[in-house]
Structure 1
Amino acid sequence: MRIYFSVDMEGITGLVDADDVQPGGRDYERGRQMMAEDVNAAVRGALAAGATHVTVNDAHGPMRNLLPEALHPAARLIRGKPKAMGMLDGLTADHDAMICVGYHTRAGALGVLSHSFMGHEIEDMWLDGRPVGEIGLAHATATALGVPVAVLTGDDRACEEMTEWDSTVTTVAVKYAHDRFAAELRPADEARGAIEKAVATSLVAAPRVASTDSGPVALTVRWQSASVASVLQGIPGVTAKDSRTVQAHGALPGLYRQFGVWMRVAASMTNQRPYC
């Protein structure tokens, strides 16, 4: 059984602030340790369920947060950037399930460190007219490949967002949002025990799903900057909905990869810190 892990940081046990998750932040090094411990709990669960191949993709920010020596020895780590598929790099149809560790709510939601991919540079996103963030777009892309999302961990709002997309996904709330930078924290040992148990149980029960790729979908993104939207219209297939909103049609996972190009264009034009 081949299991793929996409690991973000904002939804990790104990972390609530930009200083916990951004390189240079006063608590970032502690945050990296917490991140590794959540991942290792999930990996232990996968191994208990019979996983024979475990791939972990560091999917947060610089994508160099997980220290290889801190990771479970059974896991193969995808580290660094750029990556063609970003948060889903290395995910293929050969995987039997995907686990999302440390995920967070989309932009505009009142969850811990909520945003969509780029801090406040992306104001809103829609997939076929449905509001979407990192959770929904990851789920849709994995499903298009025929890979079921088995488990998601994060704060309670992220768990709710995942359930709205797919109620069959097992979720583990490791903290309970009080605001964007405040939460009631689940004790670390309790949270990691819950992660390990949920992964082990869910992988035994997770069905293999057929690809649901039925053709092009529409991805729409509203940017904070009209300049970003204007430049993106130079990419074939990208059209304007209004001065700050662009849209493209395509099949997943190809459209997910193209979205990564949009973000690289936006990053080259802006230098704003996220979570402001």
Structure 2
Amino acid sequence: MRIYISADMEGVTGLVDADDVQPGGRDYERGRAEMAADVNAAVRGALAAGAAHVLVNDAHGPMRNLLPEALHPAARLVRGRPKRLGMLEGLTGEYDAVLCVGYHSRAGAPGVLSHSFMGHEIEDMWLDGRPVGEIGLAQATAAALGVPVVALTGDDAACAEMTEWDASVATVPVKYARDRFAAELREAIEETVAAALATAPRRPAPSAAEATLAVRWQSASVAETLLGIPGVTADDPRTVRASGPLPALYRQFGVWMRVASSLTNQPPYC
């Protein structure tokens, strides 16, 4: 069994503030240790379920948060950026299941460190007309490749978002949001992952069907610049959309974010 882990940071056990998850933050070094602990718990759960290969993609911010020496020795690590598929780099149809570790709820949700990919720069996103953030877009892209997401860890808001998107996914609420920068903590990652993989749902059929992604940006300048990309159209001065099969559309969205980063200097959690 081949298992793929996409590891974000805002939904990691104990982390509640930008200083916990941003390089240079006063508690970042502790935060990356907590990230490794959550990821390693998921790796142990995968191994307990019989995984013979585990690939971990560091999917947060600079994508250099996980120290190789801190990772479980049975896992392989994808580290650094840029990556063609960003948070899903390395995922192919050869994998049997995806685990999303340390994920957070989408922009506007009352979850810990909630946002969609780029802090306040992205105000809203929709996939085929359905509100979406990092959770839904990851699940839809994995499904298009024929790989099910079987477990997600994060705060209770992230878990609820995953359940709303795909109720078959096992969720582990490692903290309960009291506000956007406060939480009550708990953890049960290893056991939940092992159980989820032991009863993994049937693999979805790979799909080349077209999907439509729309994004409302905080800056009209970003939207206007993106209109120079073939296939991108405007809904209004700040909202653009494009259609195509996943994961190609997911990859194009990564280009949109690089354009937005070149035009703005918005801190992630202001």
**Is TM > 0.5 for Structure 1 vs Structure 2?**
yes
**Where does the alignment leave 5 or more consecutive residues of structure 1 unmatched?**
none
Residue of structure 2 in register with 1:177 after alignment: 177
> CA–CA distance in 1 between the matches of 2:114 and 2:204?
31
Answering whether residue 196 of structure 2 is matched by residue 202 of structure 1, we say: yes
**Where does the alignment leave 5 or more consecutive residues of structure 2 unmatched?**
none
Alignment counterpart, residue 236 of structure 2, candidates 239, 242, 255:
242
Confirm or deny: 8 A CA contact 1:147 1:208 kept in the other structure. Answer: no
> CA–CA distance in 1 between the matches of 2:176 and 2:256?
32
State the Cα distance separating 1:215 from its structure 2 match.
Answer: 1.5
- Opposite residue 258 of structure 1, the aligned amino acid is Q
Answering whether residue 49 of structure 2 is matched by residue 49 of structure 1, we say: yes
Confirm or deny: 8 A CA contact 1:237 1:249 kept in the other structure. Answer: yes
Confirm or deny: 8 A CA contact 1:96 1:208 kept in the other structure. Answer: no
Residue of structure 2 in register with 1:269 after alignment: 263
1:109-148 superposed matches below 5 A: 109-148=109-148
Give the secondary structure class of the aligned counterpart of 1:264.
helix
C-alpha offsets along residues 204-248 of structure 1, whole Å, 9 cap, x if unaligned?
A: 110341325252111000000000000000000000000000000
Q: Count residues with an aligned counterpart.
A: 270
RMSD of the alignment, in Å?
Answer: 0.7
Confirm or deny: 8 A CA contact 1:146 1:208 kept in the other structure. Answer: no
> CA–CA distance in 1 between the matches of 2:147 and 2:202?
7
> CA–CA distance in 2 between the matches of 1:253 and 1:41?
28
Confirm or deny: 8 A CA contact 2:36 2:71 kept in the other structure. Answer: yes
State the TM-score, normalized to the length of structure 2. 0.99
- Farther-moved stretch of structure 1 (177-186 vs 73-82): 177-186
Confirm or deny: 8 A CA contact 2:13 2:34 kept in the other structure. Answer: yes
> CA–CA distance in 1 between the matches of 2:179 and 2:20?
16
Confirm or deny: 8 A CA contact 2:168 2:201 kept in the other structure. Answer: no
State the TM-score, normalized to the length of structure 1. 0.97
> CA–CA distance in 1 between the matches of 2:98 and 2:203?
12
- Opposite residue 26 of structure 1, the aligned amino acid is R
Give the secondary structure class of the aligned counterpart of 1:152.
strand
Identity percentage over the alignment? Answer: 77
Give the secondary structure class of the aligned counterpart of 1:120.
helix
> CA–CA distance in 2 between the matches of 1:70 and 1:195?
17
State the Cα distance separating 1:185 from its structure 2 match.
Answer: 1.6
State the Cα distance separating 1:160 from its structure 2 match.
Answer: 0.2
State the Cα distance separating 1:271 from its structure 2 match.
Answer: 1.1
Instruction: Give every structure 1 segment of 4 or more consecutive aligned residues whose post-TM-superposition deviation is greater than 3 Å.
Output: none
1:152-167 superposed matches below 5 A: 152-167=152-167
- Opposite residue 125 of structure 1, the aligned amino acid is M
C-alpha offsets along residues 144-180 of structure 1, whole Å, 9 cap, x if unaligned?
A: 0010001000000000000001111000000000110
